[in-house]
Amino acid sequence: MRFLKNERGLTLIEVMLVVIILGVLVALVVPQFSGRTEQARRAAASADIRANIATAIELYYLDNGVYPSTEQGIDALIKKPETSPEPISWNGPYLKSNTKLKDPWGQAYVYVAPGEHNLDSYDLFSTGPDREKGGGDDVTNWESGEQHAQ
């Protein structure tokens, strides 16, 4: 029993001090990670809109001479549309069937053809984290003063 008297444990004040230091560190680090998460989501949506889905839409256009209609949507890149205008030379699927056609915030990408901003082609955009069209945080395939992909 003598060895127990010589050992010393942590006092309540020392434990409290460690907890406070850890709390301060978490308070400093967490906001930086949350900003990076949102930045990564915007980058992923922009890559889908400006590269991945855009390339598939352009391949569809090259094969068929028209962009998918708004009604057909970007689903026409995975499954041959049966509505007008029926594609004359559909060589799809242009995207893998397991490709998610949703933005990083879980909403479907919005496709409009002919576009309101790109009159000779199509508009493709994500409504962003607020999930509202024109909310100022949209990620789009056009440039404007208020909303643009970064």
**Mean pLDDT value across residues 63-88:** 94
Annotation: CATH topology of 12-140: Glycoprotein, Type 4 Pilin (3.30.700)
- Of 24 and 75, more confident: 75
**Mean pLDDT value across residues 131-137:** 77
- Residue 149: is its pLDDT beyond 80? no
**Mean pLDDT value across residues 88-93:** 91
Question: For the segment 49-61, what is each residue's pLDDT rounded down to a tens digit?
Answer: 999 999 999 999 9
Cβ-based burial of 53 (10 A; exposed 0-12, middle 13-18, buried ≥19)? buried
